[in-house]
Structure 1
Amino acid sequence: MYDVNVTYIRRRLACLPELAQALSAATVSWTGGLTEGLAQERALHLAAEIATDVGHALIDGFIMRDASSYEDIIDIIAEEGVISQESAEPLRSLVLLRKTLVQEYDRWPRHELHPLTPALPRVLMGFSDQVEAYLEKELI
């Protein structure tokens, strides 16, 4: 039997619709303003944190191999069939942004729409659906 913290995972996944909405809104109305840039930056940061938090909880709960990096968390959950390879590719790119967003924020181009921003709403909602489907399948 697995010890998966489903409540923890679902609480984080529950944040994704708002992040997807914010990223969609930023894409549609982008003018490069400071407030928009900071909102995009925070939404990308939270999305990266959620992807890694959920991935790490799945790895621990289902006793998958240990991750060596944030990117490896995404690789592991893709290899284990939690998410598709199609979802894994943009999620890898997202988690690679984490270091810049958290440690090198003084170099972040706040006035530019990040190339991941338009694609992430669909990716994040797909991630949520795939994680839920995996939980349902494995915890029956």
Structure 2
Amino acid sequence: MYYVNVQDIRLRLDGIPELADALDELAASWNGSTLHGLAQERLLHLAIETVTDVGSCLIDGYIMREASSYSDIIEIIGGEEVVDAELADRLKALTALRRPLVQEFYSWPRGELHPYTPELAGWLRRFSDQVGHYLQKEQ
């Protein structure tokens, strides 16, 4: 018997549309300003935390193997077919940005549009859909 905190997962998934819309808007209006740069950093960070928090809840609830890192969380949910392999690869690449965003923020290229920013909204929407399908299948 599994105890999966579906309410906690849904709470995080429910925030994805707002995050995705903000990413789309930022990418469309990018001007390289400090404000846009800081907004981009925060959106990337929120995306990473959302995906890994949901992944951690799934891992804990379905008693999957223990994760040792952020990228490991994505590897596990990819291996358990929560998300497809292509999306898992993209999300692993996204989680690799956590350290520079959180620990090396002073050297982050704030004036540049990160290549993931225009694509990330789609990744997040796919993530939310695939997690939702997984939860339906497992319940």
Which band: TM-score by shorter chain?
A: over 0.9
Shift of 1:22: 1.0
Cα distance, 1:94 vs. partner?
1.0
Shift of 1:19: 1.0
Q: Show the counterpart of 2:92.
A: 92
SS at 2:118 equivalent: coil
CA distance in structure 2 between the aligned counterparts of 1:37 and 1:69, rounded to whole angstroms: 26
What is the alpha-carbon distance in structure 1 between the residues aligned to residue 14 and residue 110 of structure 2? 26
- Whole-angstrom CA distance in 2 between matches of 1:119 and 1:112: 15
1:116 matched to 2:121? The reply is no
Aligned to 1:69: 69
- Percent identity for Structure 1 against Structure 2: 58
CA distance in 2, matches of 1:48, 1:57: 14
TM-score by length of 2: 0.97
Contact 1:17–1:125, Cα closer than 8 Å, also in 2:
yes
- Contact 1:90/1:116 (8 A) holds in 2: no
Give the Cα–Cα distance (whole angstroms) in 2 for the partners of residues 5 and 102 of structure 1. 27
Residue identity matched to 1:26: L
Amino acid at match of 1:132: G
Unaligned 5+ segments in structure 2 are none
Taking the aligned partners of 2:112 and 2:22, their CA distance within structure 1 comes to 16
Distance 1:81 1:89 in 2: 12
Task: After TM superposition, give the deviation of residue 102 of structure 1 in Å.
Answer: 1.1
The alpha-carbon deviation at position 104 of structure 1 amounts to 1.0
User: 1:51 Cα shift?
Assistant: 0.7
CA distance in structure 2 between the aligned counterparts of 1:132 and 1:106, rounded to whole angstroms = 37
1:43 aligns with 2:52: no
Query: After the TM superposition, which residues 1-140 of structure 1 pair with which residues of structure 2 at under 5 Å, given as runs?
Result: 1-139=1-139
Structure 2 distance, partners of 1:71, 1:9, is 19
Conserved in 2, the CA contact under 8 Å of 1:48 and 1:94? yes
Give unpaired runs (5+ residues) of structure 1: none
